[in-house]
Structure 1
Amino acid sequence: MHTIGTKSSSSGPPEPDGDDDEADERLRPARSPARDLLPLLAGAATTTAGVGAVLALADIDSPLRAPFTLFFLLAAPAAAVATALRKLEPVGRVLASLSAATAVNLLVAQGMLAVHRWSAPGGIAAVAALSSLILLLVLVRRLRGRTERGRAS
């Protein structure tokens, strides 16, 4: 017959009883499901936007082409601008980045129409290039800020 040992004090953290994996599970704080969901949603959004850009650039006929391409045209510049506005409150950052995404799309369309070079693949490429440029400038600014702070210390 197997006996079960009892502990005299239950106020402190549980004592490991030889099984390290079991002790680690008891001492580790529980992860929130929302914390696990955010990277998953970001990956799904990136995949959806990428598929939309590929479908439009490759001129593939698919019922998903229009919604995925529209998602790319809104998400790419919005994500780049949202990265730049990291210090804003979340609601303000979402509104500002969606407004900026709309402005980027309108400026690309207006510029292409003004020079008589309108094409859907060209517009998608231009939006992708501008979004990449915005993101690159933000990353360069952050890296430059880190090196200057490192020199000042």
Structure 2
Amino acid sequence: MQNIGIKALSSDTERQAGQGRREDLPPLLAGVAVAVGGVGATLALIDLSSPLRGPFVLFFLLVAPAAASWAALRGLTPWGRIVASASGSVAVNLLVAQAMLALHVWSVRGGVVAVTLFSSLTLLLVLLRRARRRTTARRRTT
């Protein structure tokens, strides 16, 4: 039998390894949030009776507009972005619900679709604005 020697990690290497795991956490959490939100929206749109439908749809309705407004508010500090995104998310949901009730077209599916469209449009406008800034910056440098 042959022994394989394993060299102990130094404290600097251990810190760097731990730092790498911490840096991987936000993208992982974002992916989980997208998956949970997508499942919630899908459960609402196909009208599937499940005990997870309520919490997942609520999560989607709160996180989708918050993520869209988070992307649009790059100039704020992180805590300012959190507060503005959370309050903007609640405002979007209240405005969608109020408009649908005033027009007598209230439905869960319609609310999910309206919030999805609003959030998608906001993200699309943010991406277009960033792309325009990049092309303008490239033209100036060349």
Q: TM-score range by the shorter chain?
A: 0.7 to 0.9
Q: Which amino acid aligns with 1:76?
A: A
5+ long unaligned stretches in structure 1: 1-25
Q: Which amino acid aligns with 1:144?
A: R
CA distance in 2 between partners of 1:38 and 1:78 (Å):
16
Q: Which amino acid aligns with 1:100?
A: G
Equivalent residue number for residue 117 of structure 1:
105
CA distance in 2 between partners of 1:31 and 1:151 (Å):
41
Return the match for 2:63 from 66, 75, 86: 75
1:62 counterpart SS class: coil
Equivalent residue number for residue 131 of structure 1:
119
1:36 counterpart SS class: helix
CA drift at 1:30:
3.5
Return the match for 1:51 from 39, 44, 55: 39
1:42 counterpart SS class: helix
Q: Does 1:102 align with 2:90?
A: yes
Q: Mark the structure with the bigger radius of gyration.
A: 1
CA distance in 2 between partners of 1:88 and 1:78 (Å):
14
CA offsets, 1:81-131, max 9 Å, x none?
000112211111011001111111111111111111111100100000000
CA distance in 2 between partners of 1:30 and 1:120 (Å):
46
CA distance in 1 between partners of 2:134 and 2:24 (Å):
29
Q: Does 1:41 align with 2:60?
A: no
Q: Which amino acid aligns with 1:42?
A: A
RMSD: 1.3
Larger relative contact order (C-alpha < 8 A, sep ≥ 6)? 2
CA distance in 1 between partners of 2:24 and 2:121 (Å):
30
Report sequence identity in percent: 60
Higher helix proportion: 2
**What is the aligned residue count?**
126
